[in-house]
Amino acid sequence: MAEPVPDRRRPARPPGAGPAARVVALTASAGFALLALWVVLAPTGPLPFDTGPHTWSVGHRPSAALTVARAVTDTGTGVPPYALAVLAGLYAGRTARQRLTAVAGFALCLAAGQAVRRGLMYAFARPRPPAADWAVHADNWSFPSGHATTGALTAGLLLAALALRHSGRPPRIAAALVLVWGAAVGLSRVYLGMHWLSDVLAGWCLATAWLALAVLTARRYARWYARRGPP
């Protein structure tokens, strides 16, 4: 008896990735909503857990640490995140079509996530910490942190590229370095006095929810392409 011919059009997908992504999206969205509600209902100023990290950061700023923090924070805005997203897309794909699709998808995910974050920032219009505590210049409002959101989004895209390239098993050292960098970008904003810790936590929650929604969207696209794409 002849063995059945596998459907080569349908891309392999990790089992359970869809339900896991939905759980992550709901959990991260709930975390962001809780922080946002707390910010709206609380009196003007920091939340109870914001004051300690801010006070410690302002009181522990040797010049070498400030130089490192400024360098780290600069990687979380402007050109670097998009350059990393493009490199991640090029690394994720194995063919020219896959690379082009990954680059476009990663760049779109990052740009759309930043647009959503900017809209939320203006909607909440939360003031930053006192300007006298700032170690760098800043504009606009504070919640959620733009650097924390962008850094987490970019880190998530880099992790996705590693997972796609290595069949769902990204190298541990590379993945750990990506996670440390993403966290460092957000924490540098607290250390430099530009954001409250709650701003950073909200940025991480927002980025996590957005990345999980991107995973669900990519899976839906993969199913559509499997039905309508070429063999």
pLDDT in tens, 110-129: 999 999 999 999 999 999 99
* pLDDT score recorded for residue 28: 96
Among the options 60, 137, 147, 166, which is catalytic?
147
Q: Provide the token pair at 211.
A: 């990345």
Q: Provide the token pair at 18.
A: 């869809």
Among the options 54, 60, 137, 195, which is catalytic?
195
Q: At what angle do helices 96-124 and 79-92 cross, to 10 degrees?
A: 150
User: Taking all residues of the chain, what is their mean pLDDT, rounded to a whole number?
Assistant: 88
pLDDT in tens, 191-216: 999 999 999 999 999 999 999 999 98
* pLDDT score recorded for residue 113: 96
Res. 5: pLDDT tops 50: no
Res. 103: pLDDT tops 70: yes
pLDDT in tens, 142-169: 999 999 999 999 999 999 999 988 877 8
Q: Provide the token pair at 109.
A: 């995910």
Q: Is 147 a catalytic residue?
A: yes
| CA–CA dist 193, 188 (Å, integer) | 8
Q: Is 195 a catalytic residue?
A: yes
